Structure 1
Amino acid sequence: MSNEVEEPEEGSQPEPFDPSGWLRALQPMTDYYRRFAADLVRPLTESYTATASIGRQIAQQYVEAAGVAARLRESMEPVHAFMRQYWHDMFATLESLKDYIYPPNLREAQPSIREFEQLLLEEGIPLMWVPGPKVVRALLDAPDAVERRRVIGRRWKGIVTHCSTVIDSVDHPDLQESRGFALDCVAALRDGHNNPAQALAANLLDSLMRSHFRSADRVKLTSNKKGGAKFDLNDHEVRVALTFAPVWYAHAEYWPKNGDPIPRVFGRHPSAHGVSRSQYSRINAVYGLMLVTSVLKFFDVELER
């Protein structure tokens, strides 16, 4: 076998390359992949078309709904206006009710029912109209009854001044004589005459109750017997309950003939029937003045003119 390469004959040329034959040979494979790709894309295309159709429907429905909503809003505007005015009036009414229940000295503190029960019923501290807001806050912040009594003892001058201001504001014609006696209590305390101030306050309180309540109502508000029913705030209109709960406390039963010890806290009965150093003191005189002031202002507000 010869390793020589055979030379082409002179004058002969190689045939040019024709790719069409290769394309025809590859045509079946090309068709297969085209169909394969089409099968893959078709679901996506159909899904997109369907989604687009749904989107157009949703968009159309949204436009229609927006139109309905706009018409609905327009038709509901009178209702909305009515409700806005209704709630405005409702909150205004609640605000007025709050102002009715709470006199100016309580509007900032607004004690809870439990605080009212503790201070009014358990300790006999008046809170309606007097004392002033700062003293009210100090009383509510005090940890116990002993400290609250000390608050009143330390701040007695400010309390007396606030009582004087409230008494000065009493302008009902039927209360002018009582107003004068209440101012006498103020003057006596300021001049250091604690005992006369307490005695006058205790008797003025009794006179006010007898002058402006029927006997049955007065007894109900002042009947504080040992083992008897406790004053129930729910049994009375709110302002009546809050004003007269400490009055009820001040009428705790006291019978010297039964050997009852003279209480150290202010009481109407021991002020009249148990005159002593135990009962008479500057702090008890301040309690008596606060009670008289609160009751006097209550009648000033409530009595017909």
Structure 2
Amino acid sequence: MTQRLTRNIDFSGVASSLAILTRISEAFAEQQSAIIENLAPALATLRGGFYPPNLRAIDDLDFKDVQSVVMIDGIALYGLPRSTTAEVLIRAGSRSKRRNILGRRWKTIIGDCREVVRGCSSEVVAPYVPFALAAVDALDAGHTAAAQALAGSLVDTVVSNYFGNARTKYTPHPQGKRTTDAYDEFTVREYIAFAPMWQTYQQFYVKDGGKVPGTFSRHATAHAVSVRQYSKRNAVQAIMFACSLLYRLDEEAVGLA
């Protein structure tokens, strides 16, 4: 029965229809490929706009991982260090491992800081450049405490001048009554540049039994001089943040931010 039915069907029309559908599908696939190919540069540009230059070369970069470094650990990543070092810091997975990286790679990191600051050309940043370079030179020459003290003061000066009274929105409250919600107002790039403030300005009071922080702290650097606070790793962290801030401000001044 089936054989008789199939013998009576004219498959030429079906075959013709399938051929047409195949050609349409192939044409659609070619069109989609062309669209994707044409969009690729635009997508790359869009992605690049999210991150500073040193982070753009890192594949499969998750913003949450960047956030952990800059906000949770207070280690600057905006414009420095070089991509390979930045990726190692991001992939490290813990604060202790990242601090070990700061200790092991301090020489190349401050070299990157020096290069970035030397590239700043705006009048806004120019007054700060000699002090940033002096901090780098001090650490390079083995004067760790001097480097950290100068970098810490430079950070405070830049933050105060840039944010003015609004800085209180981005730094912790003495009684812990302030959150990081204000950082939600920033663009991705602004967030990466300024988020290290949150850890840099953590509050503590020795007279109330507070322990001097072991990681870089602007307040401890200025008001709790001790071997616990002053270290090569903290000096590196302070210099990174100071130079990163100058890089960001220079971008804004010349219209690249």
TM bin, normalised by shorter chain, reads 0.7 to 0.9
Q: Is the 8 A contact 1:182 1:293 kept in 2?
A: yes
* Alpha-carbon offset, residue 103 of structure 1: 2.4
Q: Does 1:51 align with 2:1?
A: no
Distance of aligned partners of 1:167 and 1:60 in 2 relative to their CA distance in 1, 3 Å threshold: same
The corresponding residue for 1:210 is 160
Mean Cα deviation higher: 294-303 or 108-117: 108-117
Structure 2 unaligned spans of 5+: none
Q: Is the 8 A contact 1:109 1:136 kept in 2?
A: no
Q: Does 1:96 align with 2:36?
A: no
Q: TM-score scaled to structure 1, two decimals? A: 0.71
Matches of 1:266 and 1:101, distance apart in 2: 27
Q: Is the 8 A contact 1:231 1:245 kept in 2?
A: no
Give the SS at the match of 1:263: coil
Q: Does 1:156 align with 2:106?
A: yes
* Alpha-carbon offset, residue 69 of structure 1: 8.5
User: What letter matches 1:51 in structure 2?
Assistant: T
* Alpha-carbon offset, residue 234 of structure 1: 3.8
Alignment of 1:130-209 (within 5 A): 130-142=80-92, 144-209=94-159
The corresponding residue for 2:169 is 220
The corresponding residue for 1:60 is 13
User: What letter matches 2:152 in structure 1?
Assistant: A
Bigger CA radius of gyration: 1
Matches of 2:87 and 2:104, distance apart in 1: 14
C-alpha root-mean-square deviation of aligned residues, in Å? 3.1
Distance of aligned partners of 1:88 and 1:290 in 2 relative to their CA distance in 1, 3 Å threshold: same
Q: Does 1:117 align with 2:67?
A: yes
Deviations 1:40-84 (A, max 9, x none): xxx79xx54x53441xx33135447757987x79xx99xx86x66
Q: TM-score scaled to structure 2, two decimals? A: 0.82
Over the matched positions of the two proteins, sequence identity in percent amounts to 30
Q: Is the 8 A contact 2:66 2:90 kept in 1?
A: no
Matches of 2:250 and 2:66, distance apart in 1: 22
Distance of aligned partners of 1:61 and 1:225 in 2 relative to their CA distance in 1, 3 Å threshold: same
Distance of aligned partners of 1:91 and 1:224 in 2 relative to their CA distance in 1, 3 Å threshold: farther
Distance of aligned partners of 1:62 and 1:235 in 2 relative to their CA distance in 1, 3 Å threshold: same
- Give the paired residue count: 253
Matches of 1:88 and 1:172, distance apart in 2: 38
The corresponding residue for 1:263 is 213
